[in-house]
């Protein structure tokens, strides 16, 4: 007769194999969608290299246009995630992907600042539900103990979008030389990076399942073991958890999480929107060279992100696995500001900053499991994400305004380093017992 220990070992082995099957089935497609999500969000950083002269826009106007995206994003984040909760992830995410891909592509027809602002606003509004929706979607499959590595795999699309997007964007700007073809190079950039999102959005409706119960590709034993693991995970949540969205709004810890996420995103968006310009300011002007050099920080970040995610899950430790990368981001921004005229040292600083800031993103989200029940997750995750995305408006606008005022990005990088440092202090105030699961 089998002992309880043997039965438990068999069950755990079955569960591990089931999660491997789920990861292979879900993560690659979601990863590709998020890669284009991030590429569509930040390709204005490369378009800026030529678009500003064509449209006669100032640095401040560009910063406003880059950042106004997040006004629509913040305004629509919570409503969009509540709609996803009502109508299902597959259909809702498919719809918003098609819409934001369309608006992102239409940026190629921008002729003045006001049109630029309007399309960026609409793109942000339609895109708002994607990331918090995917985070919510993954909580329906993975318990807390497995989310660190899964979030790292999923969010490694961010640095990979830089690894692939930098050289690709540089190649587009270089290949479609001014005067060749129907469009300017920056217009081709929006066209060739926007259309795939529409195709991926249509595919989302057909390729993914809404949850464990509707996954016809799982057998009954696999489905039961997954449901049991998720129920057990929900039982083990600490007493500080919010059970409804009204509880979320009254939970001060959730607002602190949103503020921490704002601090992380302040560094992330400074890098995303200004990395090509900072490299160019160090003395390099060839768009192909800028594209390849901008890939280096993102390549390092993609590796570092996965390594730290695995370590966090293996050790069941969350706070220091978030704080240390954030401190790397602080140091990297300071180095980039101090040595902006030295391309090699500036690139080392930007690489450190990119590794730290981007790794902070997936390391942040497992913290929310200590404060949100399944019922509150739809609105709560979107609220935290929306607070963080305010940095998407504030950070690029700050950098643009400082650059117009001082003809340098140095002071802005110092300010953003201080913001990230404040985020580290907030993380270390969270009790370890609440989040180390």
Cα separation values, 231 from 143, 239, 244, 302, Å: 9, 16, 17, 32
Contact 298, 160 (CB under 8 A): yes
Cα separation values, 307 from 116, 148, 356, Å: 39, 10, 12
- Cα–Cα distance between 305 and 286 in angstroms, integer? 29
- Cα–Cα distance between 230 and 425 in angstroms, integer? 32
Question: What is Dmax (Cα atoms) for the chain?
Answer: 80
Contact 169, 12 (CB under 8 A): no
pLDDT at 9: 52
**pLDDT tens-digit map of 159-196:** 777 677 767 777 777 777 655 567 888 888 888 888 99
Contact 395, 365 (CB under 8 A): no
Dihedral (C-alpha) 421, 70, 389, 395: value to the nearest 10 degrees? -10
The model's pTM: 0.69
Contacts of 295 (CB under 8 A, 6+ apart): 162, 163, 164, 166, 167
- Cα–Cα distance between 96 and 84 in angstroms, integer? 10
Contact 136, 79 (CB under 8 A): no
Contact 126, 96 (CB under 8 A): yes
pLDDT at 423: 93
Cβ burial 159-174 (10 Å sphere, 16+ → b, else e): bbbbbbbbbbbbbbbe
pLDDT at 35: 82
Contacts of 31 (CB under 8 A, 6+ apart): 153, 154, 156, 157
- Based on the number of CB atoms within 10 Å of its own CB, is 205 exposed (0-12), middle (13-18) or buried (19 or more)? middle
Left (φ > 0), alpha (ψ -120 to 50) or beta: where does 32 sit? alpha
- Cα–Cα distance between 170 and 147 in angstroms, integer? 34
Give the helix ranges, DSSP H, for 128-156.
130-139, 144-155
Q: Which residues of the chain, if any, have pLDDT below 70?
A: 1-11, 41-42, 162, 166, 177-181, 236-245, 273-274, 282, 284-285, 287, 340, 369-378, 433-437
pLDDT at 264: 92
- Cα–Cα distance between 301 and 432 in angstroms, integer? 26
pLDDT at 8: 53
Contacts of 337 (CB under 8 A, 6+ apart): 349, 409, 410, 411, 413, 414, 417
Contact 346, 340 (CB under 8 A): yes
pLDDT at 322: 92
């Amino acid at each position: 007769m089998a002992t309880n220990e043997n039965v438990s070992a068999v069950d755990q082995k079955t569960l591990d194999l089931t999660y491997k099957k789920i990861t292979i089935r879900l993560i690659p497609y979601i990863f590709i969608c998020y890669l284009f999500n991030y590429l569509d969000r930040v390709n204005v950083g490369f378009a800026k290299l030529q678009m500003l002269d064509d449209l006669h826009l100032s640095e401040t106007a560009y910063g406003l246009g880059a950042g106004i995206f997040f006004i629509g994003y913040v305004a629509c984040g919570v409503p969009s995630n509540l709609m996803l909760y009502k109508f299902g992830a597959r259909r809702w995410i498919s719809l918003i992907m098609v819409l934001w891909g369309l608006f992102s592509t239409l940026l190629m027809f921008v002729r003045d600042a006001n049109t630029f602002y309007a399309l960026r606003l609409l793109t942000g509004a339609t895109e708002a539900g994607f990331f918090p929706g995917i985070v919510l979607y993954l909580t329906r499959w993975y318990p807390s103990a497995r989310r660190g590595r899964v979030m790292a795999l999923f969010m490694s699309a961010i640095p990979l979008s830089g690894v692939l997007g930098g050289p690709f964007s540089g190649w587009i700007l270089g290949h479609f030389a001014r005067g060749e073809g129907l469009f300017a190079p920056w217009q081709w950039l929006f066209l060739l990076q926007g259309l795939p999102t529409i195709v991926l959005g249509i595919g989302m409706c057909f390729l993914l399942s809404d949850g464990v119960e509707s996954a016809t590709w799982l057998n009954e034993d696999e489905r039961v073991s997954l449901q049991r693991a998720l129920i057990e995970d929900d039982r083990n949540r600490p007493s500080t958890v919010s059970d409804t969205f009204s509880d979320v709004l009254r939970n001060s810890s959730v607002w602190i999480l949103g503020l921490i996420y704002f601090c992380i995103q302040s560094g992330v968006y400074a890098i995303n929107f200004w990395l090509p310009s900072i490299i160019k300011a160090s003395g390099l002007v060839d768009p192909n060279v800028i594209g390849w050099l901008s890939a280096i920080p993102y390549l390092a970040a993609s590796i570092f992100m996965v390594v730290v995610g695995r370590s966090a899950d293996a050790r069941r430790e969350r706070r220091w696995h978030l704080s240390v990368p954030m401190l790397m981001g602080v140091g990297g921004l300071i180095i980039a500001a101090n040595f902006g005229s030295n391309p090699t040292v500036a690139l080392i600083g930007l690489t450190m900053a990119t590794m730290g800031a981007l790794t902070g993103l997936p390391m942040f989200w497992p913290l929310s499991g200590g404060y949100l029940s399944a019922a509150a997750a739809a609105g709560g995750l979107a609220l935290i994400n929306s607070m963080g995305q305010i940095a998407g408006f504030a950070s690029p606008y700050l950098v643009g305004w400082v650059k117009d005022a001082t003809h340098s990005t140095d002071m802005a990088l110092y300010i953003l380093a201080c913001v990230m440092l404040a985020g580290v202090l907030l993380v270390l105030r969270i009790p370890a017992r609440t989040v180390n699961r």
